[in-house]
Copies of this chain bind each other. A is one copy, B any other.
Amino acid sequence: MTGARLEQKERTRRAILDAALALSEDSALVALSLRQVAKEVGIVPTAFYRHFPSIEDLGLALVEESLDSLRALLRELRKPAGVDFRSIIDGSVAVLVEQVGRHHPHFGFIARERFAGPPQVRAAIAHGIGLAEHELSIDLAHLPGTDRWSEQDLQILSSLIVGAMVTTAERLIAAAEDPAAEQQIADMARAHLRMMVIGAMNWRSS
């Protein structure tokens, strides 16, 4: 398959994915029917099978590309954003707001399916978040001031921070791209990060 043929197929496939993302927005993946999606895309129900073996496989594809967006976010966050804590915090929150805004449907999908999705999907999302915690704990170990921190202390801090970031992302999604609300959520997120960092700097392992 080459040229225009493949191009058209890819276009329809994208349309299916987008339609599914849009239709599940105010409900859940499990409430999605093949016929609904097909109608939204503008194809006949049976044509759906040319692209996905079943609705569940569609769901898995959506998880896949949503987790891609999550990984892209993590990649951006890991880019060194400054030297002092203040600029690292400001930069991280800015990246979070920007990326969540850019891939709003994907992060919304993750938020909805994290606990309401099928077990396989829940596990994949949990794994993605676990990975973020792990990577953050590695990055934290390279920061000044954490020289004598134990592995466990690093995990405590990174899981605390990732948890707060997830909460912030969920708030941003629920804010439905209202700029004023986003501003307020970002302010709060920066304050949270500062408070956690202050806690970490004065931390004594017990």
Contact = CB atoms under 8 A, between A and B. Distances in A.
Stoichiometry (number of copies): 2
Interface string A147-172: 00000000111011001101100100
A116 B113 contact: yes
Contacts of A164: 160, 163-164
Contacts of A181: none
A195 B199 contact: yes
A28 B26 contact: no
A200 B197 CA distance: 10
Contacts of A27: 28, 30, 116, 118
A126 interface: yes
Contact of A188 (B111, B159, B167, B198): B159
Interface residues of A, number: 43
Interface in A86-138: 108, 111-119, 122, 126
Contacts of A113: 116
Contact of A192 (B30, B159, B191): B159
A156 B195 CA distance: 9
Contact of A202 (B108, B192, B202): B202
Contact of A115 (B156, B170, B200, B201): B170
B191 A198 contact: no
Given A192-B159, A196-B160, A198-B202, A174 B126 contact: yes
A203 interface: yes
Interface string A178-206: 00000000001001101111111111001
A125 B65 CA distance: 28
Contacts of A199: 195-200, 202
